[in-house]
Amino acid sequence: MTAELLVQVVVSGLLIGFVFALISVGLTLIFGVMDIVNFAHGEFLMLAMFAAFWLYALFGVDPVFSVLVCGPLLFTVGVLTHKILIRHILNAPMLAQIFCTFGLSVFLKSLAQFLWGPNFRSITEPLLGGRVEIFGVFFGLPQVAAALGAVLATGAVYLLIYRTELGRALQATSEDKETAALMGIDTEKMFTLAWGIGAACVGVAGALLSMFYYIYPEVGAVFALTSYVVVALGGFGSVTGALIGGLIIGLVQVVAGFITPAFKMVVVYLVYMGVILWRPQGLFGRW
């Protein structure tokens, strides 16, 4: 393994890791505030990717700009999901909550297939196509752009949660709903916001991914499971955890893929097991 190869592998891992991080930030936010695991998270990603695709195919809008549309669009989807569906199962047993978001996932997947067919779509000529060369090592420009986008978005969410009044309210709600309500925080608004922002993260991630990844109804599953692992690794409810966790898993996946491609996901899952053994609440989890 030459130095050049090492750099290539590590940087590739970080690049995809940033995207994992962004997807996971959305998931961890929803869980943190509401104690609900969104099993339809992958499908939100898929919707965002399709949105980016149709914007490109019908209106020639490049994914770089679609980000500005997909974010708010998925924000709305998240808010609607809460208002129409999640609101009713807030106090249901965990199993029914799982059941609900799982049903949503199945429904969205098949709806996508019904509307757009099962074929793969791809954005053929993105503005940021091609590659960059740094010290003799090549990186795909779309991947670099996606990583940058993910960093910006994650940073924005981080600032929102830890540096604003609204963010503090969200934190308070996630820590203790009842007390937060007693303090005058509109918990219903917080929940809606959590879903909105969580989905928006995935909206941005989807638009970024569409620059280099192919789009089809089942694409959600590919990223969803990894994002659950990232969230668990980082600690449910911790944005910092999702970021660090995403990078770690991205690295692990790429390095493992180099050494033993057939088992690379096994290594990822074993890392997860190792972390929860050593530190059950995840790296930055609250409990």
Partner 1 sequence: MVRGRLLPAAGLGVLLVGLIFFPLVVTLPYPQHVMILIFLYAMMGLAWNIIGGYAGQVSLGDATYFGIGAYTTVILLRDLGLSPWVGMLVGAVNAVVVSVILGYPCFRVRGHYFAIATIALNEIVATIFTNWEYVGGAVGIYVPILPESFINLQFHRSKAPYYYIALGMLIGVILLNVWVGRSRLGYYFRAIRADQDAARSLGIDITRYKMIAYAMTAALTSLGGSFYSMYVLYIDPTSVFAFSISLLVVLVAVLGGVGTVAGPIIGSVILISLSEGTRVLLGGTGRALDVAIYGLLVMAISVLQPYGIVAWVRSLRRPRKPREVKVAGPAA
Partner 2 sequence: MVRRVSRREFNLGLAGLVGGLAVGCAQTGTPAPAVGQQPAQPTFPKEVKIGAIYPLTGPAASSGLDGRYGIELAVEIVNGKYDLNLPLAREEGLPNLGGAKITVVWADSQGSPEKGQAEAERLITQEKVVALTGAYHSSVTATASQVAERLGVPYVNFESSSPSLTERGFKWFFRTGPHDATFGKNLFDMLRDLERVKGIKVRTIGIVNENTLYGTDASKITKQYAQEYGYQVVVDIAYPANTSDVTSEVQRIKAANPDVLFQVSYTSDLILFIRTYKQLDYTPQMILGYGAGFVDPQYTKTLGKDADYAITRAAWSADITQKRPAAKVIADMFQQRFGQPMTENSARSFTGMLVLADAINRAKSLEAEAIRQALLATNIPGDQTVMPWQGVKFDEKTHQNIYAQGVNLQIIGGQYYTVWPFDLATREIVWPMPRWSQRQ
Chain contacts with partner 1 (rule: CB under 8 A): 31, 37, 85, 88-89, 92-100, 102-111, 113-114, 117-118, 217, 225, 228-229, 232, 236, 262-263, 265-266, 269-270, 272-273, 276-277, 280-282
Question: Of 87-95, 196-204, 219-227, 236-244, which part binds partner 2 (CB under 8 A)?
Answer: 219-227
In angstroms, the Cα distances linking 223 to 16, 56, 60, 80, 280 are 11, 22, 26, 23, 23
State yes or no: residue 10 binds partner 2 (CB under 8 A): no
- Cα(166)–Cα(29) distance, rounded to whole angstroms? 13
Residue 212 near partner 2 by CB under 8 A:
yes
Angle at 203 between CA 43 and CA 282, to 5 degrees: 75
Of the pair 118, 155, the CB lying nearest partner 1 is at 118
Provide DSSP, 83-142.
Answer: HHTGGGGTTS-HHHHHHHHHHHHHHHHHHHHHHH-S--B--SS-TT-SEEEETTEEEEHH
Bridge partners of residue 121, in order along the sequence: 215
Shortest spacing between CB 274 and partner 2, in angstroms: 20
Q: One symbol per residue from 112 to 151: x for binding partner 2 (CB under 8 A), - otherwise; what is it?
A: -x---xxxxxx-xx-----x------xxx--x--------
Distance CA 241, CA 284 (A): 5
Smallest gap from Cβ 246 to partner 2, in A, equals 12
Identify the H or E element spanning 218.
Answer: none
Least Å distance, CB 169 to partner 1, is 24
| Residues near partner 2 (CB under 8 A) | 5, 8-9, 12, 16, 110, 113, 117-122, 124-125, 131, 138-140, 143, 212-214, 216, 218, 221-223, 226, 253-259, 261-262, 264-265
